[in-house]
Each structure stands twice: as C-alpha cells, then as structure tokens.
C-alpha cells in the first residue's frame, strides 16, 4: 500500500475566506453566524446562518463563468485553485492520466434548483428553463469543472452522503492513491445551501437553532441549551499525493493520512443511533486501518452539530471506543464557529485537524455556558478557548442523514 500525504490546502469558510484566514479564525474562537442577507427572513423561524461574509465571487472568477455555474461549483473552483497553488504542483510536469478529482457535496446546485423553479413558475403553463439548469445543479459537475480547468484525466466523480460527503471524497481519494491508481487527487467538498428552501427545509425538521436574538452564540455543541445547528456555506480542498511523488518534487507536507473508516447506523433517516453505535464502529475501523492504539490519538474533531440527540450519541461513542483514554483526549467541535457546512463539513474539519498538528494547539468549542447533565463533562471539550498540547494524531468525524459515518485519521509526517 502506498502512503498518502497532504501537500496543499484551500478553504472558503464563514470565519475566513482563505486557508490562512480560516486558521486565524479557528484559534481566535470566531463565530461566523450573522443575520441572513440573501433573502427576506420575515416569515422564517430561523433568520441567521453562517454566510460567507464580505465574499464577492467576482474577486475570484470571471462573470462569464459564474453565470453558468452554481455557487457550490464556484466555491469548489476557488478552493481547488488555492490548494493547487499552495501545493506547488506544476501541471506541465504531471502525468495527467494519474491526476484526479473526487469531490463531495450533500445537495449540489440547490441555489439553481430553487431559483429556476421559481422563475419557471412565473410562466404559467409554458415551461421555460435555462439550458444550464441541469449542468448547474448536478452534484458531479463540481469535480468536472475542476478536472477541466487543470486537465486532470484520472479518476473523477462526486461523493454524496449528506454531511459525510467530503469526508468520503477524502477517503476515496486516499484509497485510490494507496492502491496505486493515482499520484495526485484534489479532494474536498463545497456547499451553497443558505437559500430559502435550505433554511425552510431544515427549519421544518426542527434541525436549526432559532436563537435569533443572539446568532453568534447559537451553535453551542454539548451545552444544555443547544437547540439545533446553524447552517453554513463554503468549501475546503486538500491535495492528496503519493508520498514518493511528493518527496521527489520537494513538496511541503502538512500531514499524512494514515487511516480511514466508513460505516452505517442502519437505524433512522435523520436521527443518530442513540448509543452512537455507527459512530463507535467507524472510529474503531479507522483506528484499525491506521494500525494505532487508542492511546496514540491526541485530538478528535467531532461531528458535534449542536443538536440535542447527536452530541449525546457521539459522546457515548467516543467513550465506547477510547475508554479511560477518553479523558486524556482533547475534543472539539469547530462547527461552533463555522456552522454546519453539510457536505463540505468534512473537508474544512480535516483542515482544522491539520492546523491542530501544525500549531500543537486545539481549536475550541465556543459558546459553552452550561453543562448538560446527559453528557460526561469530565471529558475535555476544549470549551471557549484553544488549548496548547502536542498533537501528533487527529481523528475527524462526520456523520450524515441516512446514517452515513466517515472518519479520517491524520498524523504528523515523520518521514
């Protein structure tokens, strides 16, 4: 099996519009939640989200391009470009048949679906749809756009598993490299679901926080007063590269991807298994794949959405996997700052894990006020401020509607 390293990153998040700004936002404990500016929220129960504040797509892409693609594809192109530049890869020297793109999104072109249906409805019985409707909305179009831009002719497809989508893209990319099918793969995810239907749909499920009087503290994982997640948007990209390929060109290596896990809850379409069974199993699978003991793990970046059921189940799963070592771990939910980026969550949270290794520091779980008696508060949830510690191994968990669970294990590169 080949070894897989990460040689480039790109991020577009509600707390930072590039990887460096995202890193600064994480360790500053910044909240990205703001009143929604995209549409009139008067009649909506939730009136805020983690938007991309001060973001203008024309600063990155030509208007001729953006008119023909959905925002989730724009976000994908932007972070892929940042990651490629960061990696120092030279397309002219790559074997393009062994370079690929695997990209995740839970919903794809949601913005396009909503706007085109609304527009078509205005024409009554005469259907009138944009010729770009289908290629804008299909989820697999994002990796298609990235591969076209860079000429990558290797593996190319989309992973769709709700909130686990971009973790699955990273896992699939790693497996393709480990099996010798590719040298370089751009992996990650993007989501642009802060729309009327996005807010309305999740709100009707009672999944979203309604803390409209104080949006910045609304995402509060593990707090007794948590009342749902905060919807976010953005993207994250990672350049995964075969180790010898990276070494040969003198690449900077952020971390090594040493283990992966994928399981299903087989329980409910939206609720987690109450004992965290699928979450426990996926961490066990990932640790076995990484050939690690429980004691080797320093930090778990949890799914931690700030929902009443999910946070309890994941805590039970961690204790079920790590036993006594659970109390020596640092745990944090960076969704407390970024909100929940749905299919893009796994990508930006893997990057948060990389930053923890880089800085020997744990980004915090912000907005904690009151302990939940249903959660073991002897665990170190890294509440409200970052903590310094040596970080060599990170687990990153993501779980999606439908019972999809994915875990990636990152380690400090040691040659």
CA 67: distance to chain centroid? 25
Q: State the catalytic residue, choosing from 163, 273, 368, 404.
A: 163
CA pair distance 404, 281, nearest whole angstrom: 12
CA pair distance 103, 143, nearest whole angstrom: 6
CA pair distance 302, 349, nearest whole angstrom: 9
Pick the closest to residue 313 from 207, 243, 221 (CA basis): 221
CA pair distance 354, 325, nearest whole angstrom: 22
* Torsion from C-alpha of 380, 382, 384, 387, nearest 10 degrees: 130
Q: State the catalytic residue, choosing from 168, 245, 273, 303.
A: 303
Pick the closest to residue 368 from 329, 414, 332 (CA basis): 332
Residues 6 or more apart whose CB falls under 8 angstroms from that of 106 comprise 160, 161, 162, 163, 165, 191, 193, 342, 343, 400
Rg of the chain in Å (alpha carbons): 20
**Total length of the chain:** 415
* Torsion from C-alpha of 72, 74, 76, 80, nearest 10 degrees: -170
Is 404 marked active-site?
Answer: no
CA pair distance 405, 403, nearest whole angstrom: 6
* Torsion from C-alpha of 375, 379, 385, 387, nearest 10 degrees: -170
Pick the closest to residue 143 from 164, 163, 162, 165 (CA basis): 165
Is 340 marked active-site?
Answer: yes
CA 52: distance to chain centroid? 15
Judge residue 2's burial from the number of C-beta atoms within 10 Å of its C-beta, 0-12 exposed, 13-18 middle, 19 or more buried: middle
Residue 38, classed as helix, strand or coil, is: coil
Q: State the catalytic residue, choosing from 168, 340, 368, 404.
A: 340
Residue 286, classed as helix, strand or coil, is: helix
Pick the closest to residue 102 from 162, 154, 157 (CA basis): 157
Is 163 marked active-site?
Answer: yes
Pick the closest to residue 65 from 81, 87, 45, 49 (CA basis): 81
The residues annotated as belonging to the active site are 163, 303, 340
């Amino acid at each position: 099996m080949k070894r897989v390293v990460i040689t480039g990153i790109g991020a577009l998040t509600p707390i930072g519009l590039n990887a460096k700004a995202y890193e600064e936002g994480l360790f500053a404990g910044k909240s990205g939640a703001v009143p929604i500016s995209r549409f009139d929220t008067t009649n909506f129960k939730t009136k805020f989200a983690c938007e991309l504040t001060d973001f203008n797509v024309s600063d990155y892409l030509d208007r001729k391009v953006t008119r023909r693609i959905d925002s989730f594809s724009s976000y994908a192109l932007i972070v892929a470009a940042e990651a490629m530049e960061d990696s120092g890869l030279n397309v002219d020297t790559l074997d393009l048949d062994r370079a690929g793109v695997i990209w995740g999104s839970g919903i794809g072109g949601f913005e396009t679906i909503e706007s085109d249906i609304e527009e078509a409805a205005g024409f009554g019985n005469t259907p009138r749809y944009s010729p770009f409707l289908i290629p804008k909305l299909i989820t697999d179009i994002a990796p298609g756009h990235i591969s076209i831009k860079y000429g990558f002719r290797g593996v190319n497809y989309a992973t769709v598993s709700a909130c686990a989508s971009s973790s699955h893209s990273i896992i699939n990319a790693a497996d393709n490299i480990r099996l010798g099918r590719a040298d370089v793969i751009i992996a990650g995810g993007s989501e642009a679901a802060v729309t009327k239907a996005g807010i309305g749909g999740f709100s009707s499920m009672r999944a979203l926080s309604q803390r409209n009087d104080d949006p910045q503290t609304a995402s509060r994982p593990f707090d007794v007063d948590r009342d749902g997640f905060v919807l976010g948007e953005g993207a994250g990209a990672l350049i995964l590269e075969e180790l010898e390929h990276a070494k040969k060109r003198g690449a900077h290596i952020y971390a090594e991807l040493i283990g992966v896990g994928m399981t299903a809850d087989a329980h409910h379409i939206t609720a987690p298994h109450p004992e965290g069974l699928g979450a426990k199993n996926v961490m066990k699978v990932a640790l076995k794949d990484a050939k690690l003991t429980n004691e080797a793990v320093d930090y778990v970046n949890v799914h931690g959405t700030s929902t009443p059921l999910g946070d309890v189940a994941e805590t039970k799963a961690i204790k079920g996997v790590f036993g006594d070592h659970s109390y020596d771990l640092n745990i944090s939910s960076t969704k407390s700052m970024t909100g929940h980026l749905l299919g893009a969550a796994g990508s930006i949270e893997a990057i948060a894990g990389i930053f923890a290794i880089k800085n020997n520091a744990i980004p915090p779980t912000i907005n904690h006020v009151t302990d939940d008696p249903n959660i073991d508060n002897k665990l170190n949830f890294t509440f409200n401020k970052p903590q310094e510690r040596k970080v060599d191994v990170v687990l990153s968990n993501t779980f999606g509607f439908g019972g999809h669970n994915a875990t990636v294990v990152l380690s400090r590169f040691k040659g």
